[in-house]
Structure 1
Amino acid sequence: MLRGRVAGVVFRGVVPARTCALLAERFWASPARRARGTDAPGYYLGAYHYHKTTEDYLAETAEFRGALDAVLDMPDDPLTRLNQGLSEALAAEGVQFRLASHGGREASRAIMRSWHGQSEYALAPHEDLGQCTEPKQADFEIQRAAEHQIVALNMCLDNGAGGRLAVWNIRPDEASRHRLGLHYTGSPYPLDSLAGIEVAWLEVHPGDVYLFNGAHVHAVEPETSVETRRITLSGILGFIDENTVVSWT
């Protein structure tokens, strides 16, 4: 995926059920968990770069790093395991894998999220490439990833009925984003703009780790029960030059 050879991959049941349950419990109990606005109703723990200045994102990352680390503090936590494996695999190809950084400060290593929207989609159709061209982050190295492939990483910690991932077989170009007024956000794509385009639906279960090309338009189906909420541990990856892959949130 990082080299654009495949669109996505899913590894079933990678994270043990007890680990998923403990992480989900800690997420809901964390005093640092925050509600997101009406653009994408839900809760999150950590920091996201979307539509922020580089300074604001990195300051928010530093503010909530301790709370995120506390939730992930367990032997053999799944994020550390995945990052170590990815680092080893890329190192064998002469590529360094690290957190994105700016001015000596590092990006968040993950973000935990639960989407609660109850319209047609819990998280409206969007793509992750447009947000990587935000002028307020022109000084941030993640913008160089837009010249390569944007890979979305998700670990499912909880999910009930519904909560599938929808991925459309289209990667909007810059002209399309400008025409729709989404050139720096990549969200939300009007449903009528996606009419007739092939879409794949991915069933997601606790313990699954799935990655896909985030430049494709994708969305999250709402849960059909209010008793179970879809929770993921997520991040974004991409090459910024031929020898470096960085991650951010």
Structure 2
Amino acid sequence: MQQQTMTKVTGLRADSDFFRFEERDELDYQLVLDVLHGRRLGVIFRSVIPQAARKELTDRFWRSPALRHREGEPSHYVGAYHWNKSTATYLDETAEVIEDVKAVIDVPGSPWATFREGMAQALAQEGASLRLAEMNGRSACPALIRAWDQPGQFSLDPHEDSAQCQDPRQVGFEIQNVIQHSICAVNMCVEHTAGGRLVVWNIRPDDEARRALGIELTGIPYPPESLAEFDEIRLDIREGDIYAFNGAFVHAVDANTGNRSTVSYIMGFTGADTVVSWT
């Protein structure tokens, strides 16, 4: 039997000064701005979500009438994904679920509201603004609340967030301008049992690698064996943490036990003075 050749992942490797996470015990939005500007890989803020807010948000998530289960990359979720669909479909799905999303995240001490307000103030000092991504007067979903539950080595397979922003079905949607800058994934952990580390590999794949793997417009999955040559970070995630990182680098969530529930979205500059977010 002929042995199958493993696809080599090509792209950009960062130097050691960039490829690391800063860790703090209080929110520092200047560090998040560094991620947005492409000056650092990521930052994690430990235990910055109030316990009461974590509990209330988690309870609302699991009780939400909009709670769904996603196949493929299995997860329980409330919200809308732009991934692998037309902009019109994404915005239609957002319109259907936006009030349910707001009902989950609008809790006293909401980490979503706190983080957005802090980021908006930090960006304003640079003459920039933060808002939801838009098209034809319609807005993106403000957040995804989700709990990954795939069995095996990874509860979320190795992937990156840039490929999905090149889908021709989304031409004209302003998120496609973000890939000219730095794409920043934001996650707020409101529930956690065990495991579920964030794994990031030191490779920012190019289009050639995506084509070879047949994931040009989805960015998932990257076979784990194809990533073995790259340095990696495995970051413990705990309930109450907020973390932000450059989602153009291949990343995953490794196996977890119980629930690992997060409030998430993606954001990035579309130009010199505007940052947009979407899900």
- Tell me which interval the TM-score lies in, with the shorter structure as reference length: over 0.9
Partner residue of 1:22?
56
SS in structure 2 of the partner of residue 241 of structure 1? coil
**Percent identity for Structure 1 against Structure 2:** 48
Task: State the Cα deviation string for residues 50-92 of structure 1 (Å, max 9, x = none).
Answer: 0010000011111001111111222332111111110110011
Partner residue of 1:234?
264
Q: Can you give the 5+ residue segments of structure 1 that lack an aligned partner in the other structure?
A: none
Is 1:82 matched with 2:112? no
Partner residue of 2:40?
6
Partner residue of 1:120?
153
Is 1:184 matched with 2:184? no
Match of 2:97 among 55, 64, 69: 64
Distance in 1 (CA, whole Å) between partners of 2:108 and 2:262 is 19
Is 1:193 matched with 2:226? yes
Aligned pair in 2 of structure 1 residues 19, 142: CA closer, same or farther (>3 Å)?
same
Partner residue of 2:3?
none
Instruction: Say whether the 8 Å CA contact 2:53–2:108 is kept in structure 1.
Output: no
Task: State the Cα deviation string for residues 123-151 of structure 1 (Å, max 9, x = none).
Answer: 00000000000111012000000111000
SS in structure 2 of the partner of residue 204 of structure 1? coil
How far residue 191 of structure 1 moved from its aligned partner, in angstroms, is 1.4
* TM-score, length of structure 2 as denominator length: 0.86
Instruction: Say whether the 8 Å CA contact 2:86–2:170 is kept in structure 1.
Output: yes
Partner residue of 2:253?
220
Task: State the Cα deviation string for residues 161-219 of structure 1 (Å, max 9, x = none).
Answer: 11111000110011111111111000000112101211100100111000000000000
How far residue 243 of structure 1 moved from its aligned partner, in angstroms, is 1.0
Partner residue of 2:131?
98
Instruction: Say whether the 8 Å CA contact 2:53–2:109 is kept in structure 1.
Output: no
Distance in 1 (CA, whole Å) between partners of 2:102 and 2:117 is 17
- 5 Å-filtered alignment, 1:197-212, equals 197-212=230-245
Match of 2:73 among 40, 45, 52: 40
Distance in 2 (CA, whole Å) between partners of 1:42 and 1:83 is 25
Q: Letter of the aligned partner of 2:83 in structure 1?
A: Y
CA RMSD of aligned residues (A): 0.9
Match of 1:174 among 207, 221, 235: 207
* TM-score, length of structure 1 as denominator length: 0.96
Partner residue of 1:130?
163
Is 1:245 matched with 2:275? yes
Distance in 2 (CA, whole Å) between partners of 1:191 and 1:61 is 33
Distance in 2 (CA, whole Å) between partners of 1:215 and 1:173 is 10
Distance in 1 (CA, whole Å) between partners of 2:242 and 2:67 is 22
Distance in 2 (CA, whole Å) between partners of 1:86 and 1:74 is 19
Moved over 6 A (4+): none
The structure having more radius of gyration, on CA atoms, is: 2
Is 1:109 matched with 2:142? yes
Match of 1:164 among 165, 183, 197: 197
